[in-house]
Amino acid sequence: MKNNKLKFDIIKTKGKARVAKLNLNGKTITTPVFMPVGTKATIKSMILDILNDPKYTGTDKKIGIILANTFHMYISAGHKTVKYFGGLHKFQNWDGLILTDSGGFQVFSLGLDKRSSRNKSLVKIKNDGVWFRSPKDGSEHIFTPEKVVDIQGDLFSDIMMVLDVCSPVHGNDKKQTAKQMNLTHIWAKKAFDYFENKYNDLNGVLFPIIQGGLHKDLRLESLDFLNNYAWDGIAIGGVSVGETKEEMYKVVDWLSNSLLENKPRYLMGVGTPEDLLETIYQGIDMYDCVLPTRLARHGVAFHSSGERIRIKNSIHKMSKDSLDNECQCFTCKNFTRGYLHHLFKEKEMLGSTLLSLHNIVHLHNLTEQIKKDILS
């Protein structure tokens, strides 16, 4: 490996919290940052240009980075197809940064789905990788640490994640969690040994993923091992998978004093307002979560009061109030709750678009407010 492609410069700290500039591939973002999730090269119901247009967001502070899912891109369009179109950026017309997860969580979730006994045969974890059947057509596939790097390379991802074993919070004893953590470490070493020779040829950088469940000693052991591979950053995985918020915050607290200070820290799959408020002050820099758009599709909006607005409730039918008086997004400035209620009652797709925009902007504005507090 030669000079690091990712530059991470801390501007100011406040306790464990920090504001930093992250520069990669000629693009710069300021952390802490929430990354909207575009699973299949699309943020559901959204035109990506809207996310960085002040007319729609109500702010000139750009989002700058989104997430796509390696497993779903592999199963749906296919990584070779995306490569043919010039990578994810050109495929979906996004000029910001793109982080892709490893797809490991989605693969393992196939085996955890209890709705069908058939699902128990969909996944087999082996020392060299994970074998699985496609949920689309039943075809057989294998993800190895090296293959996952290659897939994300074909996607032209800016930030790539290693293949890991995401241990379930419930149903695992400590011995099983330790075994899965050690396999995560073996895979991480394989991935980075393979990636090192490609470092200057691939578009992206690679983050390892800390595992260890709800066991402090395992978490610290995982962090100690994976700090050796935190060349450009590191992620905390195995959270937001069924544990309580207090348990998740405890995991972050265990790790916060031993995470490398000069590298970005990514808390995977986390993105409620309360989670950001809690863990940014524990030193986390990057977040992603499907919740903002998923809630929006079900008619639920974040609100500056901390409550959630359920726009389909009849109380909103005759309301001339905006969704949130403190928000300057296009949705809140132009439409009443009564109109939004009407869209959802009539199952109009515009309702999902308008609430998705608001929820994403809400989290974006929250990180901007926290940055101001840290910088003050």
Residue 352's pLDDT is 98
Residue 270's pLDDT is 96
Please give the sequence-ordered ranges of beta strands (E in DSSP) within the chain, or none if there are none.
7-14, 17-24, 27-31, 33-36, 65-69, 97-101, 123-126, 129-133, 140-143, 159-161, 205-207, 209-210, 234-236, 265-267, 286-289, 300-302, 308-310
Closest CA to 67 of 11, 21, 29: 29
Residue 112's pLDDT is 55
290-97-203 Cα angle (round to 5): 120
Closest CA to 105 of 79, 65, 132, 137: 132
Residue 116's pLDDT is 44
Contact present, 185 and 196 (Cβ < 8 Å):
no
Residue 111's pLDDT is 63
Closest CA to 152 of 202, 199, 197: 202
φ, ψ of residue 187 in degrees (nearest 5): -65, -40
What CA–CA distances, in Å, run from 91 to 40, 48, 94, 137, 201?
A: 11, 12, 8, 24, 20
φ, ψ of residue 369 in degrees (nearest 5): -65, -40
Q: Which two tokens stand for residue 321?
A: 């109030």
* CA dihedral sign of residues 143, 147, 153, 158: positive
What percent of the chain shows pLDDT beyond 70?
96
Residue 155's pLDDT is 97
What gap in Å lies between CA 98 and CA 19, rounded to an integer?
A: 20
Q: Which two tokens stand for residue 308?
A: 């959630």
Residue 68's pLDDT is 96
Residue 240's pLDDT is 84
Q: Which two tokens stand for residue 10?
A: 């801390």
Burial class (CB in 10 A: 0-12, 13-18, 19+), 285: buried
* pLDDT beneath 50: ranges in the chain: 114-119
- The 10s digit of each residue's pLDDT in 137-187 is 888 999 999 999 999 999 999 999 999 998 877 767 899 999 999 999 999
Residue 251's pLDDT is 96
Domains located in the chain, CATH noted: 64-99+145-289 (3.20.20.105)
- Residues known to be catalytic: 101, 288
What CA–CA distances, in Å, run from 276 to 55, 97, 236, 271?
A: 25, 21, 14, 6
